[in-house]
């Protein structure tokens, strides 16, 4: 199997986000994804990509550019607008020897495929008593801004994090974008990779050789002692900015990047809150029954005694995304909200 023997990136410790200090080749988040796909296609003949407009001049915001030319239109395949059916097709291919990567330009199109994802893909291995697995990876991108509005900027990871049988990862950095995507493809588990459009231009040192970040392992992005800030995806970026600002005021914030929302790195959350005694979670999605609620429950179950202040959640407003720019500004929380929230806890 081509995936065995690939280096697993076991780091869970502190690492500066987007550090320029580190030596090595830098890549954007977009190019890190493309490199992961390129290497997966090159290394494993079972891998193929399928998605609407995947081979067009835009190349899924650049993340698939050149791959159709390199691997041909059967391995990098355009598809009809039929998200549920094509998820079934990809799942059927996955059950019979292939390792498809199905790509959506927006997370908002996943609800169309919910039947196949929730009722079939997630359950197939269990229903067959472990005899048939579904090594299908689905990429979907969360949009934001410029009036993308209610149907083009959702971040629905909580819906999938609720479902046993699925893996759901949300890379916040280029290195993780590559490592988690390859980690999902290699895992043989049905996986959802939720990317964020606003991270696509971000640069970081990314190893050139293939490597795997195992789903389920979070990361301490910054160490601190007074409060734990937990986030995923683009929220990690806001949290790091806030931590920096808080540092100038003498407040030491620890920033955790969950990286996976299913499986969830409970141990990391618990050990951090045991250290700091305070916790704020920021999410790119809604609050109710979201990942921020789950983190609250984990802490309340396993580190109740350690929490010295009320738990806080910073999420998008509890409504569909509005189109108007002034409303968008109010819709998305940012660094300032985090800073204010932390100060309120101390």
Partner 1 sequence: MKPVSEILIELYRTMLRIRRFEERVVALYPEQQMKTPVHLCLGQEAIPAGVCIHLGREDQIFSTHRSHGHCIAKGMSLKSIAMELYGRETGCCRGRGGSMHLADPEQGIPGSTAIVGGSIPLAVGAALSAKMQDNGRASVAFFGDGASEEGSFHESLNFAALHHLPVLFVCENNQYATSSRLAARQPDTGIAAKGAGYGIPSRELDGNDVLAVYRAAGEALGRARAGKGPTLLECRTWRWMGHVGPTCDVENGCRPRDMHEEWLSRCPLEQLRIRLPESGALSPDFLESTELAVCLEIDSAFNTARHSPDPDPSQILRYVDGRG
Ligand X SMILES: Cc1ncc(C[n+]2csc(CCOP(=O)(O)OP(=O)(O)O)c2C)c(N)n1
d(CA 346, CA 329): 27
Pairing between β-strand 260-262 and β-strand 167-169 as defined by DSSP bridges? antiparallel
Q: Where are the alpha helices (DSSP H) in the chain?
A: 29-43, 67-71, 83-95, 114, 124-127, 157-161, 174-187, 234-248, 266-276, 291-302, 325-331, 335-345
Catalytic residue, chosen from 152, 157, 196, 234, is 152
Determine the 3-state secondary structure of 97 from DSSP.
coil
Of positions 142, 148, 284, 292, contacts a second copy by CB under 8 A? 292
Is the CB of 15 or the CB of 331 nearer to a second copy? Answer: 331
Triad 314, 319, 320: Cα angle to 5°:
115
Query: SS3 helix, strand, coil % of the chain, rounded to 5?
Result: 40, 20, 45
Q: Which does 31 bind (CB under 5 to 8 A by kind): a second copy, ligand X, partner 1, none?
A: none
Q: Is 115 in the site for a second copy (CB under 8 A)?
A: yes
Which position among 49, 77, 121, 122 is part of the footprint of a second copy (CB under 8 A)?
122
Is residue 293 at the binding interface for a second copy, with CB under 8 A as the rule?
A: yes
Report the distance separating Cα 324 and Cα 194, nearest Å: 25
DSSP helix/strand/coil, 236: helix
Alpha-carbon distances of 316 from 140, 147, 190, 320, 337, rounded to whole Å: 19, 15, 28, 9, 11
Q: Any catalytic annotation for residue 304?
A: no
Q: Min. distance of Cβ 111 from ligand X in angstroms? A: 9
Identify residues 80-109 at the interface with a second copy (CB under 8 A): 84, 108
Q: Is 35 one of the annotated active-site residues of the chain?
A: no
Region 140-169 residues binding a second copy, contact defined as CB under 8 A: 149-151, 156, 158-159, 161-165
CB 83 within 8 A of CB 53: no
Task: Give the footprint of ligand X on residues 150-179 (CB under 6 A).
Answer: none
Least spacing, CB of residue 153 vs ligand X, in Å: 12
The DSSP code for 81 is: S
Residues 48-77 touching ligand X, rule: CB under 6 A, are: 52
Query: Site residues (CB under 8 A) for a second copy?
Result: 84, 108, 111-112, 114-115, 117-119, 122-123, 126-127, 149-151, 156, 158-159, 161-165, 261-262, 264, 285-294, 296-297, 299-302, 304-305, 307, 309-313, 318-320, 322
Residues labelled catalytic: 83, 152
Query: Site residues (CB under 6 A) for ligand X?
Result: 52, 81, 83, 105, 109, 112
């Amino acid at each position: 199997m081509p995936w065995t023997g690939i280096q697993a990136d076991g780091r869970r410790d502190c690492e500066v986000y987007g550090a320029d200090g580190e030596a090595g080749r830098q890549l954007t988040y977009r190019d890190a994804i493309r490199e992961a796909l390129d290497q997966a296609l090159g290394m494993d003949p079972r891998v193929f990509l399928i998605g609407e407009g995947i081979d067009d001049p835009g190349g899924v915001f650049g993340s698939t550019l050149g791959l159709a030319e390199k691997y041909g239109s059967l391995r990098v395949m355009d598809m009809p607008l039929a998200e549920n059916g094509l998820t079934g097709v990809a799942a059927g291919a996955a059950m019979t020897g292939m390792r498809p990567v199905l790509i959506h330009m927006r997370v908002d199109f996943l609800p169309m495929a919910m039947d196949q994802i929730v009722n079939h893909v997630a359950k197939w291995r269990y229903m067959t008593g472990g005899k048939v697995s579904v090594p299908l990876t689905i990429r979907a991108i969360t949009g934001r801004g410029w009036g993308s509005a209610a149907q083009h900027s959702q971040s629905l990871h909580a819906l999938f994090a609720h479902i046993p049988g699925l893996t759901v990862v949300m890379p916040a950095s280029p290195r993780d974008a590559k490592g988690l995507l390859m980690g999902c493809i290699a895992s043989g588990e049905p996986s959802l990779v939720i990317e964020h459009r606003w991270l696509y231009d971000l640069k970081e040192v990314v190893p050139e050789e293939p490597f795997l970040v195992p789903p389920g392992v979070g990361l301490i992005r910054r160490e601190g002692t007074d409060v734990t800030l937990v986030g995923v995806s683009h929220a990690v970026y806001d949290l790091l900015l806030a931590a920096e600002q808080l540092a100038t005021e003498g407040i030491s914030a620890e920033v955790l990047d969950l990286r996976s929302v299913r499986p969830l790195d409970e141990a990391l959350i618990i050990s951090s809150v045991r250290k700091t005694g305070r916790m704020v979670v920021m999410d790119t999605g809604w609050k109710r029954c979201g990942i921020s609620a789950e983190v609250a429950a984990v802490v309340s179950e396993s580190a109740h005694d350690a929490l010295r202040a009320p738990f806080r959640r910073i999420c998008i407003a509890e409504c569909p995304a509005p189109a108007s720019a002034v409303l968008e500004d109010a819709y998305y929380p940012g660094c300032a909200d985090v800073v204010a929230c932390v100060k309120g806890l101390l």
